[in-house]
């Protein structure tokens, strides 16, 4: 990669106090993972620029926090409308920066944020902002200035699930998006300004996690930090924030188990399970990366998976027919390929795919979508978050064994169960995770999402997602 090219156009790096700021810090190049080309660059925020963003958020807080929830709801709905109007531009930017197929970018990378914003506004309408408890008036009030750090895999959706509830609660925000997928945050800032959001309520600073993210977590005038990313990075954020005892919300890694019960419709289980394992090329904290199947049905399920996998062509992300594009970066490609090689070396049965690049994709961050069976539940590919299109099929003996395997990782973000309704619900209640999909239930953007164990703390979306950004005050009289 040539870091001295002068023909590249800078992306407007920061958004501070209602205006775009190019920035004065070191250049960070933005790379198209489909071919390795450099498409532009941003500037890493300097300490002074970060202070300016925090100061703008502080200055905007008194007036914004004094607005009524209904006024804030109106602006958030206008933001949703603005994202919808610019959906094609947003989808194209996300596809260029992180490689999601354009059809998926339209449907999920942009469609989900629009739906999430509208759902958050609806939740705010029914939220209890104050209540009488005995002789006390209990109030829910904004925390103050929220620092938000978001990842590259769903750059706009992860932004929305933090920023919108925070602003609905009357907080102001300083956001650090992923440096490898920065455009969505800038476009969101433009949309928000056009929707009537006052200057300073939402600010963006670009940069890397170890530099700008760490500085945001440590900043003495940031009242809360909300982070989505890896469990390893989440530990660092929590440690950095501890010096000022600010509130910390963490949405971290996952290793979701999809338990297929003996009576399940296997065709349905395979189609849905594979879709949720390989969606966004498996780059999702909630990907159904472990499929747990009864021992006597494993071979039948494997054959169905082999056939279903042929329906997932790898292709260029701008091709409308592509279902799996490149991973988000060359570093991510190498990491995922390393896990595939580890699975082979550890003795798992290779059902589909395998190490190396797909045929015809000698350049770009492409891996072969892969399925393993006969996987040891204690092996690396069954325990560690791979974050790529790798599905592990793990046989189990009975219900207790399935639950033991499902709960047997450090993660506890989400899971799925397919089978007879009563049976599936009984299993779902035993799983130590924050969200369970039973028989393909329709996604609910007003339901809380977040993890147990090392998948983090706190919740996003719904009433719980708003409450995450509120303090509680009791006035007794």
> Active-site residues: which are they?
251, 285
- Residue 146 Cα distances to 170, 215, 310, 351, 468, angstroms: 10, 13, 45, 46, 11
Burial of 58 (0-12, 13-18, 19+ CB in 10 A): middle
CA gyration radius for the chain?
22
C-alpha 165/C-alpha 460 separation (Å) is 8
Kind of pairing between the strands at 452-453 and 38-43: unpaired
CA 446 to chain CA mean position, Å: 16
Half-sphere exposure of 401 (CA within 13 A, CB side): 12
Q: DSSP string covering 377-433, please?
A: TTSHHHHS---SSEEEEEEESSHHHHHHHHT-SSEESEEEEES-HHHHHHHHHH--S
CB 18 within 8 Å of CB 199: yes
The enclosing H or E element of 308 equals helix 298-309
Q: Are 203 and 17 in contact (CB under 8 A)?
A: yes
**N- to C-terminal Cα separation, the chain:** 66
Residues 6+ apart with CB under 8 A from 121: 73, 76, 77, 80, 164, 168
Count of CB atoms situated within 10 Å of the CB of 440? 15
Query: What DSSP character marks residue 23?
Result: -
Angle between helices 155-168 and 183-194 (to 10 degrees): 40
Query: Residue 406: is it exposed, middle or buried by C-beta count within 10 angstroms (0-12/13-18/19+)?
Result: buried
Contact 374, 338 (CB under 8 A): no
Residues sharing a CB contact under 8 Å with residue 34, sequence separation 6 or more, in sequence order: 99, 316, 317, 318, 325, 326, 364, 365
Picking from 200, 198, 168, the residue whose alpha carbon sits closest to that of residue 73 is 168
Q: Pairing between strand 224-228 and 172-176?
A: unpaired
């Amino acid at each position: 990669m040539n870091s001295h090219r002068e023909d590249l156009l800078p992306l407007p790096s920061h958004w501070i106090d209602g205006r775009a700021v190019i920035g004065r810090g070191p250049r960070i190049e933005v790379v198209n993972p489909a071919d390795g080309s450099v498409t532009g660059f941003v500037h890493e925020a300097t300490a002074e620029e970060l202070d300016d963003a925090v100061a703008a958020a502080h200055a905007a807080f008194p007036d914004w926090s004094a607005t009524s929830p209904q006024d804030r709801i109106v602006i958030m709905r206008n933001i949703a409308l603005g994202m919808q109007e610019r959906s094609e531009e947003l989808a194209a930017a996300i596809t260029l920066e992180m490689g999601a197929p354009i059809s998926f970018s339209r449907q999920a990378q942009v469609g989900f944020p629009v739906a999430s914003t509208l759902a958050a506004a609806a939740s705010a309408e029914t939220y209890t902002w104050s209540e009488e408890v005995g002789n006390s008036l209990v109030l829910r009030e904004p925390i103050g200035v929220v620092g938000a750090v978001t990842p590259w895999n769903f750059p706009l959706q992860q932004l929305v699930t933090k920023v919108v509830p925070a602003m609905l609660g009357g907080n102001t925000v300083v956001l650090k998006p992923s440096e490898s997928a920065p455009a969505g945050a800038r476009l969101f800032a433009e949309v928000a300004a056009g929707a009537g959001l006052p200057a300073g309520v939402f600010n963006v600073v670009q940069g890397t996690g170890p530099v700008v993210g760490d500085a945001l977590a440590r900043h003495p005038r940031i009242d809360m930090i909300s982070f989505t990313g890896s469990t390893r990075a989440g530990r660092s954020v929590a440690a950095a924030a501890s010096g000022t005892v600010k509130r910390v919300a963490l949405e971290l890694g996952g290793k979701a188990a999809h338990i297929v019960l003996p009576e399940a419709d296997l065709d349905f289980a395979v189609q849905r399970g594979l879709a949720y394992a390989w969606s966004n090329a498996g780059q999702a904290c909630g990907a159904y990366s472990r499929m747990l199947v009864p021992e006597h049905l494993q071979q039948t399920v494997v054959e169905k998976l082999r056939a279903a996998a042929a329906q997932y062509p790898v292709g260029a992300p701008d091709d409308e027919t592509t279902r799996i594009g490149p991973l988000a970066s060359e570093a991510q490609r190498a990491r995922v390929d390393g896990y595939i090689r580890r699975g082979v070396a550890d003795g798992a049965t290779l059902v589909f795919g395998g190490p190396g690049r797909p045929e015809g994709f000698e350049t770009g961050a492409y891996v072969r979508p892969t399925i393993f069976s006969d996987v040891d539940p204690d092996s690396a590919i069954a325990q560690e978050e791979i974050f790529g299109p790798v599905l592990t099929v793990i046989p189990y003996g009975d219900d207790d064994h399935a639950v033991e395997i499902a709960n047997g990782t450090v993660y506890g973000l989400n899971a799925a169960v397919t089978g007879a309704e009563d049976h599936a619900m009984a299993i779902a209640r035993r799983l130590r995770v924050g969200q369970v999909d039973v028989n393909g239930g329709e996604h609910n953007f007003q339901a809380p999402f977040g993890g147990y164990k090392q998948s983090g703390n706190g919740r996003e979306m719904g009433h719980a997602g708003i409450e995450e950004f509120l303090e509680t005050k009791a006035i007794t009289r």
